[in-house]
A = this chain, B = another copy of it.
Amino acid sequence: MRAGDRAYQTLREEITNGDLPAGTVLGEVEQAMRLGISRTPVREALRQLISEGLAVQRPRGVEVSEVSFENIGELYDVRLALECQAARLAAQNRDPDVFRALLVDFQHVSDLLNTRDRNRHDYYELVNRLDEALDQAVHNPYLVSAMATVRTHLARIRHMARSDRARLMDAAREHALIVQAIIDGNGDLAAHATHVHLYNSLSHRLAKAASLETRTADAVSPDEGDARETA
């Protein structure tokens, strides 16, 4: 694989993970040293990050773009428009077997989450499978690309307001309804169920964010032990 692509993927993941917090200056020489390559592929990676919105061009150089809670509303407005349309299109073009398998999994999420709390990661994996199934079903690369951009930016905020188990159980029910509507070929229901799900998801995130503001700024959520190196 090309060094430029590797640098891009590495930096991209470090930004979405939060390892490179917003405002971090991405010096070409520094990153080239760190990644063990020369400035040329690093520049390529930085330009891609900029065009994706994960980094911004400053007069001094390139730095990781800001993303705050105010952006959540904006991102959800775009996500709402795109994913409702995607649900509608998926209901038309779906492969029923794929979504039937997903439906079974979503209906058994309670088992998944009741066994051990760490299995929250498995739930996110299930949601990823749903996203991929939607991407396949819509048959529309432009829509897929636009949704990927929104998902990338939302992933940066995900770790700032992690969902608790009760919310995940509700979300699973909402997802199950979306999947059911897609299986039935009911585009309107699929779109509206997506609307409901995104509204609840946003409400929960905003409530979580408000409750977090009352605590100390750099406290991690109590059921998550990620070691962060936030400056």
Footprint of B on A, CB under 8 Å?
A: 40, 43-44, 47-48, 51-53, 71, 74-75, 77-78, 80-82, 84-85, 89, 139-143, 145-146, 149-150, 153
Q: Is the interface of A mostly helix, strand, loop or mixed?
A: helix
Copies of this chain, complex-wide, total 2
The interface residues of chain B lying within 8 Å CB-to-CB of A149 are: 142, 145-146
Between A and B, 9 residue pairs with Cβ closer than 8 Å are A44-B47, A75-B142, A78-B82, A78-B143, A82-B82, A142-B149, A142-B153, A145-B149, A146-B146
A77 / chain B contacts, CB cutoff of 8 Å: 85, 89, 140, 142-143
User: What is the CA–CA distance of A150 and B75 in the complex, to the nearest angstrom?
Assistant: 17
**Closest B residue to A50 using CB positions:** B48
**Chain B, residue nearest A142 (CB):** B78
Measured between alpha carbons, how far is A93 from B165 in the docked complex, in Å? 36
Residue of B nearest to A153 (CB): B142
Provide the bound-state CA to CA distance between A142 and B43, in Å: 24
Q: Which one of B47, B82, B141 contacts A74 once the chains associate, using CB atoms below 8 Å?
A: B141
Inter-chain contacts of A143 with B (CB < 8 A): 74, 77-78, 81
Determine the distance from Cα of A43 to Cα of B47 in the docked complex, in whole angstroms.
11
Q: Which residues of B contact A146 (CB under 8 A)?
A: 78, 82, 146, 149-150
Which residue on chain B has the smallest CB distance to residue A138? B77
C-alpha gap A80/B89 in the complex (Å)? 12
CA separation between A136 and B80, bound complex, in Å?
20
Residues of chain B contacted by A44 (CB below 8 angstroms): 43-44, 47
